[in-house]
Every structure is written in structure tokens, then in C-alpha cells.
Amino acid sequence: MSYLDLDNLSKSFKDDKIISNLNAKIEKGEFFVVFGPSGSGKTVLLRLLSGIMMADSGEIKMDNQIINELHPEERDVSMAFQNFALYPHMKAYENIASPLRAKNKNMPENEIHEKVNEIANLLKIGHVLNQFPKELSNGQKQRTSLARSLVDKPSVVLLDDPLRNVDAKIRFEMRLELPKVLKEFNTTVIYITQDFREAMALGDRIAVLYDGKFNDIDSPKNIYQNPSSLTTAKLFGDPTINNFDATIKKQNGFVEVDVNGEHF
């Protein structure tokens, strides 16, 4: 029995089908990466899961409960936003403590203090807890945002391309660090990225999202070696090579690649 069950999820805006009949089963404790080109509906998917948006049809089951109609605050889900979404008028400490205060009405102040410090130290931001978001570097903001999503040990953590807005050095560091931290929490992670290397580095499984659905769901290795379609294969190709205008055609049972008039 899977922990998170997405059954025929659909969502469209006006006439635009963003997600159509999407299915997935995600296990407890799994690091599940959703990979797809920009505009493929990754963020919408996360918003459906978090309750920020409601699905047009289909079901989201969590631990066998249908949670479609639940408000964000009623779902045992946390999320780190791509743009961090820190509360500008609260210090980093209060940002991180926010879920603790919300979900555990009577948690004593010292326990909150302990938990905030624990996660902050783990993410190496213990020294900036007294600062406002605008005083933090992007890397620190990103860690604060992560800390906020993890501090209350939610069952499911949604990470919306968290490394997108930080510079290359930090991104590299975090790519190594993140799985370790998340493992300690033994939580289900749904991680969104449009960087296939990141997807391959982090995911237990990778789901490839385009055309509104998951086209492959498999381990990084399998997807890389046996993509189910050309599109998937192309997405996982090395970007430098594919940097030409190329037309890919299936002709006479062969794959024909046409780059600047030359056939392969």
C-alpha cells in the first residue's frame, strides 16, 4: 500500500489543461523527484498536493484518506517555496518556529526554542536566527525556508525547486547535504526540479512530467538508460549537445535527427 496516492488528477486554467489524468503512488519515506521542463505544471502539482489549489477531478489519497477537500492548514504537508516565501516582518527564528506555534498550540517556549535551534544548527543557520529575512543572503534564506518546512517533522515535505534561486556554489553544497538532512527526518519528500542532474543526484525515484502527466516513473538509473520516449530521452540528454535547433522525426521506423539540414 502506497502512502501517497494520486489518482487521475486533473487541473486546468480556462482552456489550458495543465495536468490531466495524472497518476502516481509514492511510498512512505521516499525521496520522489518530479522532473520536467519549465511550464510543465510541476508547481501546479505541488499546489494541488499542498491544498493551495483544488484539483478539478481525481483524488489525492494520503495514508488512505482522501484529502482533496482539506485546507492547506489541515493537511500534514509542508512546503518550501521556490521564492522562499519567508515572512519579512518576522526574524528567522520566528519564521522557523511558525509551524510549531500553529500546530501545537501549547508547546512550551523552551521546547520550541530547542526544536528551532536543533534544525537551525543542522542546516547551519544557528547564527542568523535573530535576523530579518532581508538581512539574510539567498543561501541563508533558502536554508531558513527549508528549516521552516522541516521543523515540525511533517509526513510529507514538498520542495519547490529550492535550489533554483541560490548561486552555483551553494547549490552544489546543498545537493550533497540535502539528502542527508532529509534522511534524518524519515519523511516523504516530493522534490521538484528542472535540472536533470539534480534529479538524478537526489531522487529515489524520478517522475518525468510533461504533457500534463507523469511519462516515466522510475529510478534515476532506469530512466537514464531506458527512457520510455524520445522526449524523456531528450530531456535527460546533456544540454550542451542538444543546444542546436534540431528536429527529431520518426521515419521508416528509424529515428531521424535533423540538425541544420543534416540527417543523422
Partner 1 sequence: MSINVWSILKFFAYVAIIMFFLFPIAWIFNMSFMTNDEILRKVPVLFYEPTFKNYIGLWEGEIAIEGFATMYVYFKQNLINSAILSVGSVSVTLLLGVPAAYAFARYKFKGGEDIAFTLLSFRFAPALLIILPLNLYFSEIGLYDSYFALIWVYQLITLPLLLWIVRGYFEDISPDIEYAYRLDGHSWFQSFWKISIPLAKPGIAAASLLCFIYAWNNFVFALILGSSQIQPVTVGALAFITASAIPYGLIACGIVVSVLPTLILALFIQKYLVQGLSLGAIKG
Q: What residues from 135 to 194 belong to the interface with partner 1 (CB under 8 A)?
A: 141, 148-149, 152, 165
Least separation, in Å, of the C-beta of 80 and partner 1?
9
Stretch near partner 1 under the rule CB under 8 A, chosen from 11-19, 33-41, 67-75, 166-174: 67-75
Q: What residues from 36 to 65 belong to the interface with partner 1 (CB under 8 A)?
A: 50-52
Q: Which is nearer to partner 1, 4 or 208 (CB)?
A: 4
Among 83, 219, 229, 247, binds partner 1 (CB under 8 A): 83
Q: What residues from 187 to 246 belong to the interface with partner 1 (CB under 8 A)?
A: none
Least separation, in Å, of the C-beta of 48 and partner 1?
13
CA dist., res. 63 & res. 107, Å (int): 26
Least separation, in Å, of the C-beta of 89 and partner 1?
5
Among 39, 65, 87, 244, binds partner 1 (CB under 8 A): 87
Stretch near partner 1 under the rule CB under 8 A, chosen from 3-11, 74-82, 200-208, 234-242: 74-82
Among 70, 85, 181, 248, binds partner 1 (CB under 8 A): 85
Among 84, 191, 210, 236, binds partner 1 (CB under 8 A): 84
- DSSP codes of every residue in the chain: --SEEEEEEEEEETTEEEEEEEEEEE-TT-EEEEE--TTSSHHHHHHHHHTSS--SEEEEEETTEE-TT--GGGSSEEEEBTTB---TTS-HHHHHHHHHHHH-TT--HHHHHHHHHHHHHHTT-GGGTTS-GGGS-HHHHHHHHHHHHHTT--SEEEEESTTTTS-HHHHHHHHHHHHHHHHHHT-EEEEEES-HHHHHHH-SEEEEEETTEEEEEE-HHHHHHS-SSHHHHHHTS-TTTT-S-EEEEEETTEEEEEETTEE-
- The site for partner 1 (CB under 8 A) is made up of 50-52, 71-73, 75, 77-79, 81, 83-89, 98-99, 102-103, 133-134, 141, 148-149, 152, 165
